[in-house]
Every structure is written in C-alpha cells, then in structure tokens.
Amino acid sequence: MAIHWEGVMPAVTTKFTDQDTLDLKMFEVNINAQLEAGVHGIILGGTLGEASTLTEDEKSTLVKTTVDIVKNKVPVIINIAEQTTKGAIAAVKKAHEDGANGLMMLPPMRYKAGDRETVTYFKEIANSTDLPIMVYNNPVDYKIEVTLDMFEELLKLDNIQAVKESTRDISNVTRIKNRFGDRLKILSGVDTLALESLLMGADGWVAGLVDAFPNETVAIYELQKAGKIKEAIAIYRWFLPLLELDINSKLVQNIKLAEVATGIGTENVRAPRLPLVGEERKKVLEIIENGLKTRPQLSNCKILN
C-alpha cells in the first residue's frame, strides 16, 4: 500500500488489561473509532504506545492485529526506536514480515549521535528495506536534531519521504517547503501547534488527543483543507486545553484518562508508569470534563467526510 503522508495519523496508545497483558479487545474498539472518524493512517509503538515497555512479541502482535483490523483501509506504520543500527534493521525486517506498510523512525536511542552518525544510521536502515519512512525529528525530547542539511543527504534515498516535525518551530515548516517542496512531506508532531502548522503548509498531523477525540481531530484537518478556516479555528480553540495534555511528561496517563472518558480506552499503563493520583489527577479530569461539557457539534462537518 502506498503512503501519501497526509491527513490525520493517530499515534495510538497500547491498551493493557488489569493483568498487564495486551488488551486487544479495547485496542480494536479504539482503532475502529479512528477508522470511523476518517483518519488517514495508524501509527503504532510511539511514545504514546509505550514502546519502550513492549516486548518484541507484543510489538509484532500489535502490528498483525492492526493490519487485520484496518483491512487495507489505511496504512499501518510502526515506530522504530532502537539503540543500535543492527537492532533497528532487525526490527524493520520483522515489521515488514508482520505486514506494516511504513515506518516512523527516531534517531539512535540513548547515545547522542553526531550529525554524520545520525545520517549514516538512517541511511543504513533505509537501504535495508523498501518500506517508506517518516523521520521523527524531535530534538526537544530526544536531543538530536535532523537539520535541513542532513535531510539534503537523506533525501537521496527514495524511501525517506516524510518528517514528523516536532522541533516546536513553526517557521521550520516554511523552511522545509522552500528547500524541498513536496519531496519531503511534513506531518506536525505537536498537538498544540497542529493547526498552525497545517495552515503554513504541513501535509498532515501525527496526533495524540485524537486517541480520545478522533472526530474533532479529523474535522479540524478536513475543515482547514477545505478552506473553512474559521470553522477549524473554532474547534481548535475548544480543543486546545485538551491538546495541552499531550505536551506533558505524563501525556500517556493524561490521554488514557481522556480515552476512558470518551469510552474508547482504559486507564491501564505499564510500570514504571503509574496511573495519576491526587491533585494531578483531579486537574486532568477537570480539563477533560470541561471539554466534554463544551464539546462542539460536528454535524455541519460531516459533508467533508
């Protein structure tokens, strides 16, 4: 399946049972809610997917399960976040065997690679597969920036096609478009900058709060794409307090609480993460409850689907 690298692509959470095993039933409920809302792809095993806590067998199960659920309606993309080039190549090979349609790739984990090392890492992995790749550029959280000069070298490889833009610098969207045009597709990776990025020319949105609010997220994308900017802004302004739950060290717990509130998830996280408690939990629940009370009517947006 070809990937167009546009639209809304949820970075989905991994659902766990009370016994700390994969909750594939609730996982399917959420994936179906995303598909019904009209998302354009599913991304597994990112930060929200608690990838660092998953076993290789669990990652494989998630890919196979998602492929079975989506039935080629949208591409299934798996995040690759490994400590070694050898490990990343092995993970890519397994993902391909399991039916993944594409990859989202972080720079090397733990080791703060230099520019030459980072470019070599990406190129060696890209050369090992024909799967299309989106580079995840998040120097704020992962301390390695993939610069435009580095992308100049990476784009010599045809299967490096997109960037998840999480530098937090909106002007970077324009810099990328000025330099590479449509050769490098841009997906905003920061919920609180998503509409701004789309209006400046980003092609899509790797979203977090979409896990709990798929319809509203897709509506924002579709409205701005149709030129209905005022309508998109109105929903986005309602959404912003919820979107801010994504730019927080407890984003997984926050978003899973929101999924519970909308009936498409559970609160279970995997240790060392723990569910929110006390004042912290109270504040998050207040934001979610207020969002539900003031939730916009989307009936006027259905024509865009």
Q: What is the mean pLDDT of residues 165-189?
A: 97
Which tokens go with 165? 């833009």
Query: Is pLDDT at 199 greater than 60 in this prediction?
Result: yes
Instruction: Give the per-residue pLDDT at 278.
Output: 98
Using CA atoms, how far residue 47 sits from 36, 57, 110, 298, in Å, is: 24, 18, 15, 29
Q: What is the mean pLDDT of residues 171-191?
A: 98
Q: What percent of the chain has a predicted confidence (pLDDT) above 90?
A: 95
Q: What is the mean pLDDT of residues 38-56?
A: 97
Within a 13 Å sphere around the CA of 172, how many CA atoms are in the beta-carbon half? 24
Query: Is pLDDT at 285 greater than 90 in this prediction?
Result: yes
Please count the residues of the chain: 305
Q: What is the mean pLDDT of residues 179-202?
A: 98
Confidence band of 305 (pLDDT split at 50, 70, 90)? very low
Q: From CA 101, how far away is CA 259, in angstroms rounded? A: 26
Helix 278-293 × helix 229-243 angle, to 10°: 160
pLDDT tens per residue, range 223-278? 999 999 999 999 999 999 999 999 999 999 999 999 999 999 999 999 999 999 99
Contact 252, 273 (CB under 8 A): yes
Q: What percent of the chain has a predicted confidence (pLDDT) above 70?
A: 98
The H or E element containing residue 161 is strand 160-165
Contact 35, 232 (CB under 8 A): no
Query: Is pLDDT at 218 greater than 90 in this prediction?
Result: yes
- Domain residue limits, the chain: 7-304
Query: Is pLDDT at 216 greater than 50 in this prediction?
Result: yes
Instruction: Give the per-residue pLDDT at 300.
Output: 55
Averaged confidence pLDDT in the chain: 96
Which tokens go with 148? 């435009």
Instruction: Give the per-residue pLDDT at 301.
Output: 56
Query: Is pLDDT at 289 greater than 50 in this prediction?
Result: yes
Q: What is the mean pLDDT of residues 69-94?
A: 97
Contact 93, 67 (CB under 8 A): no
Find tokens 């947006």 and name the residue: 301
Which tokens go with 81? 């976040």
pLDDT tens per residue, range 132-163? 999 999 999 899 999 999 999 999 999 999 99
Query: Is pLDDT at 197 greater than 50 in this prediction?
Result: yes
3-state secondary structure of 138: coil
Least confident of 190-194, 284-288, 301-305: 301-305
The superfamily in CATH containing domain 7-304 is Aldolase class I (3.20.20.70)
Contact 195, 204 (CB under 8 A): no
The DSSP annotation for 187-252 comes to EE--GGGHHHHHHTT--EEEESGGGT-HHHHHHHHHHHHTT-HHHHHHHHHHHHHHHGGGSSTTHH
pLDDT tens per residue, range 125-139? 999 999 999 999 999
Using CA atoms, how far residue 26 sits from 14, 22, 59, 65, 268, in Å, is: 9, 9, 16, 12, 11
Contact 78, 104 (CB under 8 A): yes
Instruction: Give the per-residue pLDDT at 303.
Output: 44
